[in-house]
């Protein structure tokens, strides 16, 4: 059964033909969606280590760390410096302000500079988190909403801008 | 180009291979999407849902097995994408308990889980008669009506429903023993 080709063995009744739909439209839509995904960032949630809990803003036993790995055009490096100082998070709709720390910078395989920031979220309390990262309220803005999941990773579409200019992003580990 | 070769290229993120597969499988995927979404959406919307299915195929491509045909995975994916769309529109697809998921969607974390679950289902179906397999695939994955299936197979609708219920029960038990439940 594993090797059976369903569409040959069980040919669907009333199979759609070229008059019913446009394969080109589907193909074009797929291309556009894949193109748009280049602007997505992936956020990875990890268990924070005990050492890190000492510096955590939320002192509970179940604190998680979310890493944001964003490729930039390079200009952001000078603007941000070593640390993004303030993050505004809306946890379950309630605004929370926390510090974010630059923990890694580098250049990805495509030559794009990237930075990884960490900040702390109590995963037991947060069903959803909306994030806005800013320095002087102008430098970087993530306008996104993500659902925390148990498997530790997820993707989210993000409106990611720097001084009004779109910035490409790469996937986090 | 053989499907095996196309899957191999897809695993290497070859967009031309994806485009060839879209051309080849879009009637199949669109038909399933149309069966499930019915009159709820426009042609353009159903094309979008079909596109979402191929996007999922792209994302899971690294996990694909070249030795296995794509059609079972695409059928499952098309069904799930269409059902998700109905949920977005707050339309209850599961008006009949026969349509209910055999395993809880909450227990399926991602496309890999869908793929794994599908492998288990095909394993279980292997032990069933040809007609039981066909009824299940057509009803559960293709979204075809029992009336249409029974007419094509030239059996009564009640007989068709009975076979489907038995198959569902066997699958439910088989999957529950392997950690997938609908509770």
Going B166 to B171 to B174 to B175, the CA torsion angle's sign is negative
User: Are residues B106 and B129 part of one domain?
Assistant: yes
Could you tell me the maximum CA-CA distance found in chain A, to the nearest angstrom? 64
What pLDDT, on the 0 to 100 scale, is given for residue A148?
Answer: 42
Question: First and final CA of chain B: distance in angstroms?
Answer: 44
What pLDDT, on the 0 to 100 scale, is given for residue B173?
Answer: 87
**Residues A76/A117, Cβ–Cβ less than 8 Å:** no
**Residues A87/A98, Cβ–Cβ less than 8 Å:** yes
Domains, in order of start, for chain A? 40-166 (2.60.40)
Which of A42-51, B3-12, B34-43, B112-121 has the lowest average pLDDT?
Answer: A42-51
CATH of the domain at B52: 1.10.1740.10
Q: Measured between CB atoms, which of A20, A27, A149 is closest to B19? A: A27
Kind and range of the H or E element at B84?
Answer: helix B71-88
Which residues of A are less than 8 Å from B109 in CB distance?
A: 149-151
User: Are residues B81 and B37 part of one domain?
Assistant: yes
Report the range out of A74-88, B92-106, B134-148 with the highest average pLDDT.
B134-148
CATH of the domain at B161: 1.10.10.10
Buried b (16+ CB within 10 A) or exposed e, B85-106: bbeeeeeebeeeeeeebbbeee
User: Are residues B69 and B20 part of one domain?
Assistant: yes
What pLDDT, on the 0 to 100 scale, is given for residue B147?
Answer: 93
What pLDDT, on the 0 to 100 scale, is given for residue A5?
Answer: 80
Chain B residues 119-158 with CB within 8 Å of chain A = 119, 122-123, 125-126, 133-134, 137-138, 141-142, 144, 148-149, 152
User: Are residues B82 and B3 part of one domain?
Assistant: yes
* Domain limit, last residue, from B45, B68, B93: B93
Which of A153-162, B13-22, B70-79, B165-174 has the lowest average pLDDT?
Answer: A153-162
What pLDDT, on the 0 to 100 scale, is given for residue A55?
Answer: 21
The residue segments making up the domain with residue B56 are: 1-93
pLDDT at B183 over 70: no
pLDDT at A142 over 80: no
pLDDT at A168 over 90: no
What pLDDT, on the 0 to 100 scale, is given for residue B65?
Answer: 84
Closest chain A C-alpha to B2 CA, distance in angstroms: 13
Q: Read out DSSP for A94-151?
A: EEEEE--EEEEEEE-TTS-EEEEEEEEEETTT-SEEEEEEESTTTSEEEEEEEE--TT
pLDDT at A30 over 80: yes
User: Are residues B86 and B110 part of one domain?
Assistant: no
What pLDDT, on the 0 to 100 scale, is given for residue A6?
Answer: 83
Buried b (16+ CB within 10 A) or exposed e, A124-142: ebbeebbbbbebeeebbbb
pLDDT in tens, A69-102: 333 333 333 333 444 445 555 555 566 666 655 5
pLDDT at B95 over 60: no
User: Are residues B98 and B22 part of one domain?
Assistant: no
HEC-encoded secondary structure of B100-143: CCCCCHHHCCCHHHHHHHHHHHHHHHHCCCHHHHHHHHHHHHCC
Distance in angstroms (rounded) separating the CA atoms of residues B37 and B147: 18
Q: How many domains does chain B have?
A: 2
Contact assignment for B55 to A33 by CB distance below 8 Å: yes
What pLDDT, on the 0 to 100 scale, is given for residue B101?
Answer: 60
What rounded mean pLDDT belongs to chain A?
Answer: 51
Beta partners for residue B88, in sequence order: none
Count of Cβ atoms closer than 10 Å to residue B11 Cβ: 16
User: Are residues B47 and B2 part of one domain?
Assistant: yes
What rounded mean pLDDT belongs to chain B?
Answer: 84
* Domain limit, last residue, from B61, B93, B125: B93
What pLDDT, on the 0 to 100 scale, is given for residue B78?
Answer: 92
Residue B174: pLDDT band by 50, 70, 90 thresholds? confident
Contact assignment for B47 to A29 by CB distance below 8 Å: yes
What pLDDT, on the 0 to 100 scale, is given for residue B16?
Answer: 92
Tell me, yes or no, if A110 comes closer than 8 A to chain B by beta carbon.
no
User: Are residues B75 and B4 part of one domain?
Assistant: yes
- Phi, psi dihedral angles at A99 (to 5 degrees): -85, 145
Chain B residues 58-97 with CB within 8 Å of chain A = 58, 67-69, 71-72, 74-75
What pLDDT, on the 0 to 100 scale, is given for residue B114?
Answer: 64
User: Are residues B106 and B165 part of one domain?
Assistant: yes
* Domain limit, last residue, from B69, B93, B117: B93
User: Are residues B177 and B115 part of one domain?
Assistant: yes
Average pLDDT over residues B7-32: 93
User: Are residues B25 and B14 part of one domain?
Assistant: yes
pLDDT at A25 over 80: yes
User: Are residues B104 and B18 part of one domain?
Assistant: no
What pLDDT, on the 0 to 100 scale, is given for residue B25?
Answer: 95
Distance in angstroms (rounded) separating the CA atoms of residues B17 and B3: 10
């Amino acid at each position: 059964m594993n090797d059976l080709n369903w569409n040959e063995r069980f040919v669907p009744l009333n199979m759609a033909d070229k008059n019913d739909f446009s394969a080109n439209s589907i193909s074009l839509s797929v291309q556009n969606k894949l193109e748009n995904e280049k602007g997505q960032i992936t956020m990875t949630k990890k268990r924070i280590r005990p050492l890190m809990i000492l510096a955590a803003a939320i002192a509970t036993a179940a604190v998680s760390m979310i890493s944001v790995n964003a490729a930039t055009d390079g200009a952001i490096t000078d603007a941000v410096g070593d640390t993004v100082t303030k993050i505004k998070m809306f946890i379950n709709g309630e605004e929370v302000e926390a510090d974010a720390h630059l923990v890694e910078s580098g250049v990805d395989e495509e030559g794009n500079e990237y930075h990884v920031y960490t900040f702390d979220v109590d995963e037991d309390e947060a069903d959803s988190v909306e994030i806005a990262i800013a320095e002087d309220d102008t430098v970087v803005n993530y306008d996104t909403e993500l659902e925390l999941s148990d498997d530790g990773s997820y993707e989210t579409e993000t409106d990611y801008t720097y001084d009004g200019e779109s910035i490409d992003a790469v996937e986090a580990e | 180009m053989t499907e095996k070769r196309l899957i191999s290229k897809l695993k290497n993120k070859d967009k031309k291979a994806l485009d060839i597969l879209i051309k080849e499988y879009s009637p199949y995927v669109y038909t399933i999407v149309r069966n499930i979404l019915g009159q709820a959406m426009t042609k353009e919307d159903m094309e979008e849902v079909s596109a979402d299915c191929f996007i999922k195929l792209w994302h899971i491509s690294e996990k694909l097995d070249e030795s296995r045909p794509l059609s079972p995975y695409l059928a499952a994916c098309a069904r799930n994408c269409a059902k998700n769309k109905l949920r977005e529109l707050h339309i209850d697809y599961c008006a009949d308990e026969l349509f209910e998921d055999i395993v809880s969607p909450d227990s399926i974390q991602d496309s890999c889980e869908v793929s794994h679950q599908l492998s288990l289902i095909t394993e279980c179906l292997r032990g069933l008669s040809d007609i039981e397999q066909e009824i299940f695939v057509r009803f559960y994955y293709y979204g075809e009506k029992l009336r249409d299936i029974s007419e094509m197979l030239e059996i009564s609708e009640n007989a068709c429903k009975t076979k489907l219920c038995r198959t569902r029960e066997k699958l439910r038990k088989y999957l529950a023993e392997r950690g997938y439940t609908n509770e």
